[in-house]
Amino acid sequence: MADVFVSYARNDKGRVARLVRAIQDAGWSVWWDPAIAPGQEFDAQIAAELKQALAVLVVWTPTSVASRWVRGEARDGADRHILIPVRFDKAELPIDVRALHTIDLDGEASGDVGLQAMLDGLAAVIERKRAPAAPLPAAAAPITRSAYASICVLPFANMSGDAEQEYFSDGITEDIIIDLSKVSALSVISRNSAFVFKGRHVDVPKVARELAVSHVLEGSVRKAGGRVRITAQLIDGKSNDHVWAERYDRDLEDIFALQDEIAHAVVHALKLRLLPAEKQAIEKHGTDSVEAYNVYLMARQHYLSSTEVDLRRAEEIIRLCKRATEIDPRYARAWALLGLGYVILRYVRGGSDREGMDAADRALALDPGLAEAHSIKARIYSEAGQFDLASAEIERALQLDPESYEVNRSAAYLRYRQHRLADAAVYFRKAMAQQENEVTSANMLICCLDAIGDRQGALQTARAMLERVEAMLAQDPNNAAALAYGAAALAMLGDTGRAKECMNRALLLDPDHVKLRYNFACDLAAKIKDREAALEMIGPIFAVVARGMLNHAKVDPDLDSLREDPRFKAMVSAAEARLSAEESGESKQPG
């Protein structure tokens, strides 16, 4: 049995490996799940190792906080007074362990000082557990940074001379990150952390220090006609020297082979060993069709660049994904995104959930391990009120890919619908961090934090959202959705006058947008405290609202101040009667 049991989320493996190496260098034995031998019973060995450990190190990140296994292991360690918690990315700690001192390992603290504090804590715990005569390892000895290779892949610059091609360079970057993440000997910074630097001139050594990585990969993509040029350079994060650089000029049809070449070149330059299974995983692509891949990237960019309930964008996603699946009927990711398009469409416009479920099932038939497809089924089950089925699907999705933006969004909405607002806030916060232009999750996070009494957190999120809105409006001053989210942020911050100005301007630009009016009603009710204006704003919405939005309104804490008003009750009842009649008529139609 090991001295130290390490509890963490699997997607944080790279950062955890550096901590494990430091603990081992200090002289203690470590158990973490890579130590499980083939054929051993997973749950049984975890329970045995956890019970026998002298100390439990829990690594809190936005991912691990959402894991019920990590939280359970942390509680066990805390109950036995042997828990040492550390934290990355300012993760919001579970309520039941917030009283414990937690070592922050962000920024400069991720170096020797932070590691030493962690080791000192472990030494104190282990000393209490061991017999007095047992020798202790020299935890106070200077710690040398692990030689474990780590890398940040910066967003490749779009050099095509066409901003519309941004989706392609972003897609290439994401795929390289995914490929390198399959190398067990390499720690890879997640997409959300890397894309913070998109469009910025970066000081590579500074980036390396901030992210605690040994190397940085940067490059550019130029796509024109049937040709693509990709430049890539691997830089030593400490010396700022080039370790490897290459320029590729190829036919667009060679894009998959080109991505493989870049991944293999990085592995070779870092002198890492690539296992046969890892080589096969890198060379496995969701499709062999470059045309289908290109159309899928366009569809995903539409999803990432739109607000959650944008009818026009949902229709575009569906149209593009249908085309991708026509080109390659075995493209699982395109089927999954098609299902998500249908989920959004149904939320806004109503109708059957059959098309969304069929697309998700088709994706899972092609790729049973596709986390996004499970998360789509969770959304559909949640809309139907089947929360047990929804929870099972979202747990599976989080196991498969806890870093997925789509998965975290679905987890957030499920917990929100279940009125588990503190849990929903965890996922909304992570989704907000994963996309630099994310304002929908930011707005939902404000709602959750305000409802659970974390006003300071809500104000901080509102300020961050306002910065994002201002950047969006600098690109397009007539972006009605951006104005709407700006109104929400300003209302939360107490600037009622400017908030109402944004509302009025947004409604002039897009007077029939149901979601804008719904959000304004929430702002007026919860933040500005103007009940009459809120009722006036929301009245026309209930006359046309679809089932998904009505179900959302029923649990929305922003509308709590209206619920006992007879006018509000009448609106809800009328909407229920209208929708029931419509749904009854649809069920009686043949076919």
Residue 349 near residue 548, CB atoms below 8 Å: no
The 3 state secondary structure assigned to 516-551 is HHHHHHHHHHHHCCCHHHHHHHHHHHHCCCCHHHHH
Residue 444 near residue 468, CB atoms below 8 Å: no
Count CB atoms within 10 A of the CB of residue 512.
Answer: 9
Number of domains in the chain: 3
Same domain? 86 vs 182: no
Q: How confident is the model at residue 8 (pLDDT cuts 50, 70, 90)?
A: very high
Identify residue 30 by its one-letter amino acid code: V
Same domain? 278 vs 339: no
Residues in the chain: 591
CATH code at 97?
Answer: 3.40.50.10140
- The whole-model pTM stands at 0.67
Encode pLDDT of 25-60 as tens digits: 778 888 886 655 444 445 667 777 888 889 999 999
For 149, the 3-state DSSP assignment is strand
Inform me whether the pLDDT recorded for 309 exceeds 70: no
Q: In what order do the strands lie in the sheet with 83-87?
A: 30-31, 4-7, 55-60, 83-87, 103-104
Interhelix angle 480-492/455-475, nearest 10 degrees = 150
Same domain? 309 vs 388: yes
In a domain, 567, yes or no: no
Structure tokens at 261: 């070449």
Among 99, 129, 159, which residue terminates a domain?
129
Same domain? 192 vs 215: yes
Range in 221-225, 262-266, 386-390, 501-505 the model is least confident about: 221-225
Same domain? 361 vs 243: no
In a domain, 351, yes or no: yes
Among 97, 129, 161, which residue terminates a domain?
129
The whole-number pLDDT of residue 141 equals 36
Encode pLDDT of 118-160 as tens digits: 887 888 788 777 644 444 344 333 333 334 588 999 999 988 8
Q: How confident is the model at residue 98 (pLDDT cuts 50, 70, 90)?
A: low
In a domain, 508, yes or no: no
Same domain? 413 vs 294: yes
Going by C-alpha positions, the residue among 283, 294, 377, 378 that lies closest to residue 334 is 294
Inform me whether the pLDDT recorded for 585 exceeds 80: no
Containing H/E element for 251?
strand 242-251
CATH code at 206?
Answer: 3.40.50.10070
Q: How confident is the model at residue 199 (pLDDT cuts 50, 70, 90)?
A: confident
Domain range for residue 50? 4-129
In a domain, 494, yes or no: no
In a domain, 269, yes or no: yes
Encode pLDDT of 14-26 as tens digits: 888 888 888 887 7
Range in 239-253, 269-283, 384-398, 490-504 the model is least confident about: 269-283
Encode pLDDT of 391-401 as tens digits: 999 999 988 88
